[in-house]
């Protein structure tokens, strides 16, 4: 019946054992398929998980059995993605971490399906079905009915509290759907969403308790959501390094000493403690050899290409005219018109750009200064100048780097304004592990980039930093940098 098999025992014991054998067989066949690890992970997400989830919903399976299946799946996923056995499962399934993978947790999906199965007969319009008293047995460890009741209580409490703003949200930015005014499918979706939120909150609280693998909880950076399309473009070594660098599980000398595999945690270049942060951002010898400057220039080249494409677009001069305020009567909707492309560079038709790449930057004939920003955009006709300073720091130091660059070029900014030039300064930070800061998003937005164009540009900046750091990591033990730089 609906894919559920019955036998003479009238229990689900044999069917549960059959499901366990099927999962083991699926994982074994996928492992022996000879495909790259990212394709094996895709087969799990879009092949094995949906087909097994229907059976997990139909049969009366305890949560402990599903957790045993989850342990087998996590072991295979870690192997396919190139991460060690001690890699936290939060890095694979979290939806609120800095790096979000497109994978689903078997236990979480099991709970969602069981909660849906609880609400479907209970909320049926047929009185015989709704009053049948159908109960879901999921073992002693977790109850689907109790989870649904708790979610409904939280939704009722949220109606009492009202709409709240989170982070950078403004008043009225988020749509608030009230529990009391919802019905039918909307209510079921809200309950399931609340159950997912509870599972994510548990993962979040656990990640805060982690010392080394939970360091990303202290970042004040926009999160990065990895898609399958992005995974297809990445090599296996970059996928592995991307995951292990965020959760600091790479085999750095410091980690190897902590794991008891070596006795010397020192850096082979400078002799300091060779943590991951030291190797990718803090080694004095690597700084003197120009390794970090080389990574900075790789990201700067990407940013320059993006701005050059934007600069070459033909734009008419904008005439600043006073516009009347159009009031809207109560009950009527405002008429929306197609707005012209905004941004600072839309205020003048001709822009020139200089970038400090491969040669020393000479500041335009606006003021005389020895300071050299990474990029200068200026328009003589519009008397506008834009200063851009790029930094590729360790993710925890993005805020400090932004404040340092702001203070460094503040005097130059005032000198330009004293010459009756409109001047702007935009320090932008892109983390060494490929996480652009909010300042990078703000820079592109002020220059007139919007929507998909802006998101693509930010992704390119993050990939450039992450690719360069992958190269730095692979050459971390080489004493000389000239050969690696030429390659």
Question: pLDDT-based confidence at 339, cuts 50/70/90?
Answer: very low
pLDDT at 338: 36
pLDDT at 336: 45
Reported pTM: 0.84
CATH of 291-315+342-486, one of 2.60.40, 3.40.91, 3.30.70, 1.10.760: 3.40.91
Asked if residue 44 lies in contact with residue 73, where contact means CB atoms within 8 angstroms, the answer is yes
pLDDT tens-digit profile of 406-434? 999 999 999 999 989 999 999 999 999 99
pLDDT tens-digit profile of 48-91? 999 888 888 888 888 999 999 999 999 999 999 999 999 999 99
Q: Could you tell me where in the chain the CATH 3.40.91 domains are found?
A: 291-315+342-486
Question: What is the rounded CA–CA span in Å between residue 228 and residue 336?
Answer: 36
pLDDT at 487: 47
**Residue in 302, 310, 260, 251 with CA at minimum distance from that of residue 458:** 302
Between 307 and 130, where is the model more confident? 307
Phi, psi of 367 (to 5 degrees): -140, 165
pLDDT tens-digit profile of 312-333? 776 555 444 455 566 777 766 5
């Amino acid at each position: 019946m609906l894919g559920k098999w019955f036998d003479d025992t009238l229990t689900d014991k044999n069917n549960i054992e059959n499901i366990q054998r099927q999962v083991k067989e699926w994982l074994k066949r996928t492992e022996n398929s000879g495909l790259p690890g990212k394709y094996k992970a895709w087969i799990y997400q879009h092949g094995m998980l949906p087909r097994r989830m229907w059976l997990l919903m139909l049969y009366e399976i305890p949560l402990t059995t599903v957790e045993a299946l989850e342990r087998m799946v996590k072991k295979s996923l870690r192997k396919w993605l190139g991460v060690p056995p001690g890699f936290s499962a939060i890095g694979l399934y979290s939806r609120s971490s800095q790096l979000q993978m497109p994978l689903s947790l078997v236990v979480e999906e099991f709970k969602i399906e069981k909660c849906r199965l609880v609400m479907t007969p209970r909320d049926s319009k047929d009185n015989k079905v709704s009053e049948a008293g159908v109960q879901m047995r999921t073992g002693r460890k977790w109850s689907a009915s109790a989870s649904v009741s708790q979610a409904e209580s939280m939704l009722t409490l949220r109606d009492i509290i009202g709409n709240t703003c989170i982070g950078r949200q403004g008043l009225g930015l988020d749509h608030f759907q009230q529990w009391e005014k919802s019905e039918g499918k909307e209510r079921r979706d809200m309950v399931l969403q609340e159950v997912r939120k509870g599972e994510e909150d548990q993962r979040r609280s656990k990640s805060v308790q982690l010392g080394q693998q939970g360091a990303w909880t202290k970042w004040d950076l926009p999160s990065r959501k990895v898609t399958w399309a992005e995974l297809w473009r990445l090599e296996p070594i970059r996928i592995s390094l991307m995951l292990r660098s965020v959760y600091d599980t790479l085999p750095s000398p410091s980690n190897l000493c902590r794991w008891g595999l070596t006795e010397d945690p020192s850096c082979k270049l400078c002799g300091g403690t060779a943590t991951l942060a030291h190797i990718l951002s803090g080694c004095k010898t690597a700084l003197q050899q120009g390794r970090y400057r080389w990574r900075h220039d790789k990201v700067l080249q990407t940013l320059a290409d993006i701005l050059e494409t934007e600069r070459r677009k033909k734009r008419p001069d904008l005439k600043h005219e006073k516009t009347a305020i159009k009031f809207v009567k109560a009950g009527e909707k405002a008429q929306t018109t197609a707005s012209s492309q905004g941004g600072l560079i839309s205020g003048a038709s001709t822009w020139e750009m200089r970038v400090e790449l491969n040669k020393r930057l000479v500041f335009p004939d606006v003021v005389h200064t020895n300071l050299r920003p990474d990029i200068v955009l200026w328009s003589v006709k519009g008397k506008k100048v834009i200063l851009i300073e790029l930094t590729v720091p360790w993710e925890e130091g993005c805020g400090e780097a932004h404040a340092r660059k702001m203070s460094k070029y503040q005097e130059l900014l005032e000198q330009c304004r004293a010459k009756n030039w409109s001047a702007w300064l935009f320090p932008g930070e892109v983390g060494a592990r490929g996480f652009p800061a909010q300042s990078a998003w703000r820079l592109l937005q002020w220059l007139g980039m919007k929507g998909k164009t802006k998101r693509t540009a930010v992704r390119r900046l993050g990939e450039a930093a992450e690719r360069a750091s992958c190269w730095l990591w692979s050459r971390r033990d080489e004493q000389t940098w000239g050969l690696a730089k030429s390659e």
